[in-house]
Every structure is written in structure tokens, then in C-alpha cells.
Structure 1
Amino acid sequence: MPPDELRYEDSGARRTVFQSYAQAVDWSDRSHVDRALLVFEDLVLYGKRSGWEGTWLDELAVPLERDGLRIDERGRIAWIQPPLRVQDLSGLSDPSGILAELQRIQRDLSNDHAGAIGSAKQLIEATAKTVLRERGLPIDENAKIPALVKQAQKALALDASAITPGPDGTDAVKKILGGVAAIAVGIAELRNRGYGTGHGQASTPNGLGARHAHLAANAALTWCELMLDTLRDPEAPWRKTQAGP
């Protein structure tokens, strides 16, 4: 429910205060959104206790449902499906590409499984390009996912050839990193085989269900969290490599 949609025709003091509050909320920050929802919930509970008449509750429920929320019989507001998110995007110069793909996945998970798989692939692509941009490295807009994943992991010293001290240099961590890279490539292959949007199909794929969409979405999030956590970590191996001996 972005603040641009919260416009009122009158200029009453309470409405003006509420509009100012809504515009101050960072709607891309889950903690901000959760606090804002508590305000809406208090409004619903107050209205129900005060016996407000009319269709105000239905009118409030419609935009909330559109954003994946519902109002229960007690007036409590809850997520129908918790929003997908990565922990912290605040340090990125421009997180808009990642946020756009997260929103697409969220939108498609419940009713467009192929769309969710396609967006999961695009989330990996957006994250890899973001990492390369933040590191000041060139981005090949025509590169395929395997190449992008490899370049991004190498940029953060997360590739198998990196020689790093501590747990990052152990065989165990390198096996995990290899597996995570394979996950990212596997999502792209799943999409390319016709199970995700992005290519026109003569017929729709059979057997595609919600569990496949959730598998792709959660796997993509795992890879993206790893990359962004490592990019943000002040003690990450790539920073020591960058600094030199």
C-alpha cells in the first residue's frame, strides 16, 4: 500500500497527520511495514468497538488483500503469505532491480508458478549484476546465468579457486559454495526448459505446481542472501584480497 495511494479529498487535521505518517514509512523495509500494519490494525479494532457503520472495513480489506494481507474476524491483520525479502539492502547504491524481482515472485507464487520460476531466475541475474556493479566491475548484459554466477562469486572470493584463510578456505565451505552455484544454474535451466516464463511455448508444461515455484524461489533467495551477506560483511575474504598484502 504505497503512500501515493493514500490521498484524501479533505484536509482534516487527523487525515493530514496520517498522510504525513504514511509518507514517512519506508514501504520497502519489512520492519517499517509491520509497524504501519499495527496502526491499521488499531484503526480496525477501534472502528469495530465503536460500531462504525458502512462499508469502510470492506474498502480497507480490498487493498490489503491485493498486497497479500487479510483481516480476520477479530480485526487482526495478518499476512496471507509472508513477503519474500532479503535481510538488508540498505548498503546498495541501487536495490531497485532486486526489489522488483522479489515483488514479481511474491505476486506470482500463489497463482502463476511458471511466472515465479521465471522471476526467481531473474532475481539471480539481478543480484549477480548488482554485485558486479557494487564492486565496480564490468557487466555483460548478454551473459548467461552460469557466467554471471561465476563472475559474481569470483568478485566476492566465493569461487572454488579462491585461496582464503579461515572457514572460507576449507573444503567443506567450498563444497557448499559449489552446491549453491549449482542451485543458481539449475533454476535458470528449469526456466529454460519451459517451466518458467520468458519463452513462448506451444503448450503449457504439465505437472508444474506450487512446490516447484516455492523450490525455485527459496533456492534463489538462498543464493542471493549469500551474495549480499558477503558483499556487506566488513570481514569478508574479498575485502582482504582487495586490500592486498
Structure 2
Amino acid sequence: MIRVDLVSPGTRGRFRDAATDSTVGAITTAFQDEGFAPNPDSTYEDSSVRRQTAQAYMESVDWTDENHVARALRAMERILEDFEEQYVEKFWSSLARDGYKRDMETGRLEFPSRSLPEGALANLTEASVIRSHLKRIQSAVENDPELAIGSAKELIESTAKLVLNDRDVPFTKDDDLGQLTTRAQESLSLRPNQAGVNSPDGGSGVKRILQMFR
């Protein structure tokens, strides 16, 4: 699966330039409070120690990971929060081009919505792939609820299609999530009206859970 940077190199460069008006202590504290350590092998050279420090910390960020990016952006916001707008305008404009929206009153960032790449669930039978996508959903819950909800829906839909294919049950591209999950449940004898009565509560608990996917 191709992974792309969620914050462009250009935007990161704008932040590095702005960091020259901060202090090494402020940069270090902000990134360390978010769990980052500077890259000890950084080869970036600059006449400004503050820009070097900012670059070393940015090199320890996985810019393809939503959780890493959220933490890094919190550190950046903290460093720039007291700057006059004229000194950080280029950074915020560049971040906006990356798809992020900033509330001018609260300063809160709204993360861009992203869906899973086409074919990302092609190997859904592999447990490790399922865990990977569940981790992606989990990391997006706090910072991008839309992504988490959309990804969860796609995971359920793809799982239902996997079941139907495996059970040789026909379906069409026009079938919605409800229709797909209903047929998948029926093929596995997991419809609410198919739940057994041998469970501790006579099957009522199982039925309630299954009805959530109707």
C-alpha cells in the first residue's frame, strides 16, 4: 500500500523557517511533550540552531501516520501560538493547501477527510491486515472522526463481501451496507431470527448485537 505524507515537505519547511523566531528551549519542550526525540543522525545544516533543532525533531515524525502528524502539529501550534500573524501566515497558508482548516477564533485545526486507498482491503483474509486497518481507525478516532467512521464502514462492507464471495452468495455493486450484511449474516446463520436459544440469556443478547448491523 502506497503511503503518502499528510503534511507536505513545503509546509514543514515553512515551519522550520518560522521556528527561527522561537527558542531552542521552546521547540524542544513542545516536541518532547508530544513524545518526540530529535533525530540524532540528522545531517541538516543551517546557520540557525533553532532551525536545526526544529528540523531534527521533524525528522523523527512519521508524516504518513495520522497519530504522529496530530502530535507534531500540536507541537508546532504551541511553538507558533504567540507569533504575530505576519510571521506565520506562510506556514498556515501552506498547511491549508495540504487540506487542513484552521479556526481563526479558537486556533483549532480541522484535519482533512481521507478514505482508505482502493484495494487496501484486498488481503482482508490476513489477520495482520485486519489489525492494521483497525489500528488506522483507532488512531483516527480523536483527530479525524469522519475518517474513522468511513473506514469502519468500509471494513464492515468489505468483510461482508468477503463472506459472500467465500459462501458463493451473489451480490451486486448496487447493494448497500445493510443488504450486504444481511446476506452475509444469513449465509452464516447469524441473522437475529436464527440465533440459538442455548446461550445463557436464551439468545436475546446475541440477537440484540446482530440487530445493530441490520
TM-score range, shorter chain: 0.3 to 0.5
The two structures have a TM-score, normalised by structure 1, of 0.40
- State the structure with bigger RCO (CA 8 A, min sep 6), 1 or 2: 1
- The structure with the largest alpha-carbon Rg is 2
The two structures have a TM-score, normalised by structure 2, of 0.44
